Amino acid sequence: MIPTAFEYRRAGSVAEALSLLQEGGPEAKLLAGGHSLIPMMKQRLAEPGLLIDIGGLDELRGIQEDGGEIAIGAAMTHAEIAASDVLRAQAPIVAETAANIGDAQVRNRGTIGGSLAHADPGADLPAVMVALDATIALLGPNGERKVQAEDFFQDILTVDLAEDEIVTGVCFQACRSAAYAKLEQRASKFALVGVAAALSLDGGTCSSARVAVTGASSHAQRLSGVEGALAGASLPGGAADAASGAGDALDFVNEDLHGSEEYRRAMTAVFARRAIEAAAGRS
Amino acid sequence: MTIADGPALPKLIGERVKRREDPRLIQGQATYVDDIKLPGMLHLAFKRSDIAHGVIRSIDTSAAAAMEGVELVITGAELAEHLGPMPIGTPFPAPDHYSVATDKVRYVGEPVAVVVAEDRYLARDAADAIEVEYDELPAVVDPEAAMEAGSATLHEGFERNIAVESYWGGTGVNPETAQPEDDSAVDAAFAEADVVVSQRMLNQRLAPNAMEPRGVVAHYEPGREYLTVWSATQNPHILRTLVAALMGLGEHQVRAVAPEVGGGFGCKINIYGEEYVAAALSRLVKAPVKWIEDRTEAFLTTTHGRDLLGYIDLAAKNDGTITGLKARIIADIGAYEVLLTAMIPTLTGLMMNGVYRLPVVRHELTEVFTNKTPTDAYRGAGRPEGLYFLERAVDMVARELGMDPAEIRRKNFVPPDEFPFATQGGLVYDSGNYEPCLDKALEVADWQGLLAERDAARAEGRIVGVGLSFYVEVCGLGPSAVVPTGGWEHSGVTVERGGKVTATTGASPHGQGNETTFAQMLADHFSIPLEDITILHGDTSVVKQGIGTFGSRSQAVGGAALISAAGKAGDKMKQFAAALMTDQEVSPEDLVFEDGRIQVEGAPEVSKTFAEVADYAYVPVPLPPGMEPGVSEEAFFEPENNTYPFGCHISMVEVDRDTGETKLLKLIAVDDCGNVINPLIVDGQVHGGLAQGIGQAMFEEVVYDEDGQPVTASFMDYVMPRAADLPVFELDRTVTPTPINPLGAKGVGEAGTIGSTPCVVNAAVDALAPFGVTHIEMPLRPERMWRLINEGGQS
């Protein structure tokens, strides 16, 4: 619980953070809420020489809705997201997911940008962003870059983010008929399995769907088989059928003390069904 | 100063007085070990083994020693020149155990070298810079495999890794040798039984997880040849005794202080290597030194609890009469025997008589070394394990016979007229009246209503179960015959000038609330306000003698010592009062304490205030003949026996059919801890105990992999119970006083952990009974439950 020595710099702007990041090279790490990085530093699993604090930057804050597109700044905390009227009205899946991350201390400090950039295999928000087909905005020395969430998450703790880039925010289309359901790993409160479903509904019929899973595998990813089965399905009755093969289709499944591969595959189907049912119930 | 015509003071014993400790604790105004800072203080960090079992080939300390600000780097072998093997508190044979490993490591986290440096960060950097090479040995992880020929062994002289083997039968035992001469009655009972249940059950390993980790500050002053040790301990006087012994000092040269201690749950009874090392290194470097455990170290090196495997057989007649018990218990004690390690599992068998007339018993216990963290006391310490085994088995018999779990227990209760009751294991239960407690629990829970609710839920396709357990435990440890350090407790009561009272207790509260309960007792005794009383504890230079707080002994033993000392002080106050009233020819025997006055019973006009008598005691002009000035008395209390509180717990659970997640819907606890000083504090103790007992049933487990690597060494993987996991507890009590102490109080610190665990598992088994399930191993992990729902049988 005693980290190695490091230098701490509070960036005054995103531009300053970017230049500090370049100066620091591989030794530098960005710090926002610190709820992924600092525990790793305390256990000496991460030993960065320079911490660049971007947590308080106004440029990274705010939740805006404009013509059906919602943008969230990277430094918004889970608690702020959970309390956002805009999100609760227009993308309730995001507010609800944030409200159930970790515990109150985690939600008060942890940020959406940090969660996405860290990409813990059990983090909740990555699945939600994939299901919402969110765009993740990155800023680097060569300017802005936008990456679709499903391409951003690549492998365990691995994302499409260069060492000299900063996640500045996410944006996605407002969507009411979307929901996230998770089986909590009881100790960490990360998702043992979590599934996010975003549906396009025409009455009781699903015209199209995006469904993504977290916790089950190395990184958040779409469940394309479920999405296919949902097209034209009548809901909520057809949720169980559509979800039934969800777990079996995964290439790689995590396995640990809290859940075997078999259990996680089975729970992927269970929580896919629950997420679809909840999303369908929202229409 | 006088309290003329002061207000009438309410009696406080039995009242829900709020804890006087809490304001400072919750406002950050308390002093813990880590708050202690001394001039010139240096900091320790331990280099610890990252393998489970191996021979130390080499330790290279050169890089660490070369760091600026590093005062000393010392290996276990070097330290052994200053510190011998650590003492233990049990009579069992034990291998040498050095504070820091000298030649071999036997669990992940065992220290191999120590750094003394200017600050904590530097100390840790230097410890990380120490290079250790090992010749790795096979890890011994499974206690049953550990006993097989061909297993690797941890300690020379302990063949097949066996530390302790004991055996006793319920009949024909030779009390001189404790060997069975003829226990054929056990075999006969099983042969004649109508029903026998046999079950292998694991009472799994737990990490105590006190909110405050361990910590120590040691300051040896060479000029005075005097050592002061501050430590997060449950028993500073035992710490003083053992540290003095290992340092070659007399107890007059050592002061031990337990400042505020943030929870212990038994794991802070043991005196640890870090405490001895801090003392020795302070003497070596001639400076105060501090070590504060981090959470990873707490998981790896603070003693674990439980880890008993039981092979349990219970025999009964068709009418539910229990006719015999066989228990073969294997205790996985980890790598070493520390202070009470070997004794804890012996309590398991002793308490497996439960609340029942048990005609015959055969008990076998084997304690086995493995490459894991040593075990020691954890809230309940041996009793939860025994009562879990017994109460699961009784439930299985009831299920086999189709009996109501409450009725099978009622049928086998020791009746109230058989107390004091001698058990098969040689214990004598002080007092008990079990049936009213059962009836009250059934009433509070609305048992028949619960069963109907369960059946209705099942009819809807839900998976719901109801469980019950009835426990008895042993509290108030003592007496001295069974506690190697002595089983008494000590107290001092001083009436100060001005009529305020300072009392000391050798019990060393670390969350139990004795500053409140003991003050309530003195307030009533002297009839003075609670605010006029200070209870001091935890410092051997203030508290003359003591044993400490464990085994639910604070009230039953410590409280009895307090009231004895208060009696002596009160007598002297009455003598001084009588001397002040010589003109009225008052005899001390006629006087009573009433509303801040000392008065002739029934005649308040013939009185002196408590304060003026106190003032007179310190300026006694004239000094009454035959008296010494002042009022400062002390007392030791030696209990003649233990106390045996009991209780009935009832729970209801629901299991999610899709996921296997178990939700605790209800928990009703009716406990009988004898007379109650403060119902609020007793309820608090029960609440905490229930949370920990439920934690064992549902969530907690220390897991090692096949290489002896801990898998659950952080809160990311070790599941602690959270408030949101628990229902609103429904509490009630019956009161069966103990004759063992003048208070009639039995102790309640551990009760909650003992009844709740089997109660919740019994409910879970009931829930899954329709799937053919007869036993479920703890904890009730979702995947385990899901498999049982889908596959049936046992886990």
A200 with A271, same domain: the answer is: yes
User: Are residues B716 and A267, on separate chains, in Cβ contact within 8 Å?
Assistant: no
Looking at the structure, tell me whether residues A73 and A111 fall in a common domain: yes
* Position B196 in a domain: no
Interface test with A, best of B119, B716, B778 (most A CBs within 10 A): B716
B21-40 pLDDT tens trace? 999 999 999 999 999 999 99
Q: How many domains does chain B have?
A: 3
H helices of B252-310, in order, are 273-285, 295-301
- Same domain, yes or no, for A212 and A167? no
User: Do B689 and B614 share a domain, yes or no?
Assistant: no
* Cβ pair A261, A156 in contact under 8 A: no
Give how far B794 is from chain A: nearest CA, Å.
17
Percent of chain A that is helix, strand, coil (3-state, to 5): 35, 30, 35
For B675, the token pair is 């007379």
**Cβ contact A189:A151 at 8 Å:** no
Is residue B446 one of the residues assigned to a domain? Answer: yes
Domain boundary among B637, B658, B685: B637
Q: What are the chain B neighbours of A5 within 8 Å (beta carbons)?
A: 121, 125
Look at residue B714 and tell me if it is in a domain. Answer: yes
Q: Is the pLDDT of residue B430 over 70?
A: yes
- Chain B residues with CB-CB distance to A188 below 8 A: 715-717
Regarding whether B123 and B39 lie in a shared domain, the answer is: yes
Three-state SS for A277?
Answer: helix
- Burial of residue B626 (CB within 10 Å: 0-12, 13-18, 19+) is exposed
- Give the pairing of strands B662-672 and B730-733: parallel
CB contact under 8 A, B717 and A257: yes
| Chain B residues with beta carbon closer than 8 angstroms to that of A4 | 121, 125
Nearest residue to B305 via CA among B224, B377, B229: B377
B98 assigned to some structural domain: yes
For testing contact with chain B, the best of A244, A257, A261, A274 (most B CBs within 10 A): A257
Q: pLDDT tens track of chain A, all 283 residues?
A: 799 999 999 999 999 999 999 999 999 999 999 999 999 999 999 999 999 999 989 999 999 999 999 999 999 999 999 999 999 999 999 999 999 999 999 999 999 999 999 999 999 999 999 999 999 999 999 999 999 999 999 999 999 999 999 999 999 999 999 999 999 999 999 999 999 999 999 989 999 999 999 999 999 999 999 999 999 999 999 999 999 999 999 999 999 999 999 999 999 999 999 999 999 998 6
**Which of A126, A145, A173 is the last residue before a domain boundary?**
A173
Q: How much of chain B, in percent, has pLDDT values that exceed 90?
A: 92
Indicate whether B496 and B456 sit together in one domain: no
Do residue B125 and residue A4 have CB atoms under 8 angstroms apart? yes
How many C-beta neighbours within 10 Å does residue A94 have? 30
- A47–chain B Cβ distance below 8 A for any pair: no
Asked, for residue B165, whether it belongs to a domain, the answer is no
Q: What is the rounded CA–CA span in Å between residue B345 and residue B325?
A: 17
Among the partner-chain residues B121, B717, B786, the one whose CB lies closest to the CB of A187 is B717
Residue B717 and residue A2: Cβ atoms within 8 Å?
Answer: no
Q: Which domain holds residue B221?
A: 33-137+213-261+268-301
Same domain, yes or no: B558 and B656: no
Last residue of a domain, one of A139, A173, A207: A173
DSSP code at position B558? I
Pairwise CB contact (< 8 Å): B716 & A5: no
* Range(s) of the domain holding residue A241: 178-280
Chain A residue numbers with beta carbons less than 8 Å from the beta carbon of B45 are: 2
pLDDT digits (tens, 9 = 90+) for B200-235: 999 999 999 999 999 999 999 999 999 999 999 999
In a domain, A248, yes or no: yes
Chain A residues lying within 8 Å of B659, measured CB to CB: 183, 267, 270
Q: Is the pLDDT of residue B795 over 90?
A: no
Is B392 within 8 Å of B400 (Cβ atoms)? no
**Are both B257 and B119 inside the same structural domain?**
yes
Touching B: A residues 166-205, CB under 8 Å: 183, 186-188
> Do A159 and A248 belong together in one domain?
no
Residues B600 and B563 both lie in one domain: yes
Domain assignment of residue B372, yes or no: no
Partner B contacted by A5 (CB < 8 A): yes
Q: Are A76 and A32 in a shared domain?
A: no
Write the CA distances from A274 to B464, B564, B791, integer angstroms. 21, 64, 23
**Using the beta-carbon criterion (under 8 Å), do A4 and B782 form an inter-chain contact?**
no
Strands A205-214 and A191-202, by their bridges, are antiparallel
Tokens of B577: 């009062």
Contacts of residue B663 in chain A, CB cutoff 8 Å? Answer: none
**Is the CB of residue A270 less than 8 Å away from at least one CB of chain B?**
yes
**B364 within domain boundaries:** no
Decide: B361 and B402 in contact? Cβ < 8 Å. no
* Contacts for A66-69: CB closer than 8 Å, 24+ residues apart: A68/A173, A68/A174, A69/A171, A69/A172, A69/A173, A69/A174
Same domain as B632, residue B742: no
The answer to whether residues A248 and A265 belong to one domain is: yes
Across the interface, whether the CB atoms of B124 and A259 are under 8 A apart is answered: no
Taking an 8 Å cut-off on Cβ atoms, the answer to whether B661 and A183 are in contact is: yes
- What pLDDT does residue B746 have? 96
User: Do A106 and A189 fall within a single domain?
Assistant: no
Closest CA–CA distance from residue B703 to any residue of chain A (Å)? 9
Query: Mean pLDDT across the stretch B550-575?
Result: 96
The answer to whether the CB atoms of A263 and B658 lie below 8 A apart is no
Q: Are residues B681 and B760 in the same domain?
A: yes
Q: How large is the C-alpha radius of gyration of chain B?
A: 28
Query: Are A168 and A76 found together in one domain?
Result: yes
First to last CA, chain B: 71
Residues A23 and A52: beta-carbon distance below 8 Å: no
| pLDDT band per the 50, 70, 90 thresholds, residue B653 | very high
Distance CA B790, CA A260 (A): 15
| Mean pLDDT over each residue of chain B, to the nearest integer | 95
Tens digits of residue pLDDT in B477-521: 989 988 888 999 999 999 999 999 999 999 999 999 999 999 999
* Whether residue A127 sits in one domain with residue A90: yes
- pLDDT bin (cut points 50, 70, 90) of residue B1 is very low
Residue of A1, A188, A263 with shortest CB distance to B786: A263
What pTM does this model have?
Answer: 0.96
- Strand partners for A221: A213
Number of domains in chain A: 3
* Contact (CB, 8 A) for B143 and B332: yes
Which of B715, B717, B783 shows the shortest C-beta gap to A260?
Answer: B783
Percent of chain B scoring above 70 in pLDDT: 97
- Candidates B626, B596, B589; CA nearest to B613 is B596
Both ends of chain A: CA-CA distance in Å?
A: 47
- The band of B590, judged by pLDDT with boundaries at 50, 70 and 90, is very high
Q: What is the CATH number of the domain that holds B463?
A: 3.30.365.10
| A2 within a domain of the structure (yes/no) | no
The reply to whether residue A259 touches residue B783, judged by beta carbons under 8 angstroms, is yes
Examine the fold and report which residue of B587, B619, B637 is the final residue of a domain before the chain moves on: B637
CB B647 within 8 A of CB B669: yes
User: B2 pLDDT exceeds 70?
Assistant: no
Categorize the per-residue pLDDT at B6 as very low, low, confident or very high, splitting at 50, 70 and 90: low
Mark whether B130 and B233 lie in a shared domain: yes
Give tens-digit pLDDT for B726-781: 999 999 999 999 999 999 999 999 999 999 999 999 999 999 999 999 999 999 99
Is there a single domain that holds both residue A163 and residue A80?
yes
Same-domain pairing of B456 and B515: no
Residue B4, pLDDT > 70, answer: no
The DSSP-derived string for B345-387 is HHHHHHGGGTTB--S-EEEEEEEEE-SSPPB---TTTTHHHHH
**CATH code for the domain of A135:** 3.30.465.10
Is the same domain home to B72 and B219? yes
Q: Are B745 and B676 in contact (CB under 8 A)?
A: yes
C-alpha B619/C-alpha B624 separation (Å) is 11
In a domain, A1, yes or no: no
- CATH assignment of the domain containing B39: 3.90.1170.50
Is the domain of A34 the same as that of A64? no
Give dist(CA B8, CA B198) in Å, integer: 62
pLDDT of residue A98: 98
pLDDT single digits (tens) B370-394:
999 999 999 999 999 999 999 999 9
User: Is there a contact between A186 and B717 if contact means CB atoms under 8 Å apart?
Assistant: no
**Residue B736 pLDDT:** 97
Which pLDDT does position A145 carry in this prediction?
98
Write the CB contacts of B698 (distance below 8 Å, at least 6 apart in sequence). Answer: B662, B664, B721, B725, B760, B778, B779, B780
- Residues A201 and A139 placed together within one structural domain of the fold: no
Rounded distance between C-alpha atoms, residue B558 and residue B235, angstroms: 13
pLDDT value of residue B9: 82
Q: Do A2 and B124 touch (CB under 8 A)?
A: yes
Residue at B143: amino acid letter: P
Among B596, B621, B637, where does a domain finish? B637
Are B555 and B681 contained in the same domain?
Answer: no
The pLDDT value given to residue B178: 57
CA distance B393 to B383: 15
B296 touches chain A (CB under 8 A): yes
Does B133 touch chain A if contact means CB atoms closer than 8 Å? no
Residue B408 domain-assigned (yes or no): no
Q: Which of residues 89-118 of B touch A (CB under 8 A)?
A: none
Mean pLDDT for B348-354 is 94
Region of B320 on the Ramachandran plot (φ > 0 left; ψ -120 to 50 alpha; else beta):
left
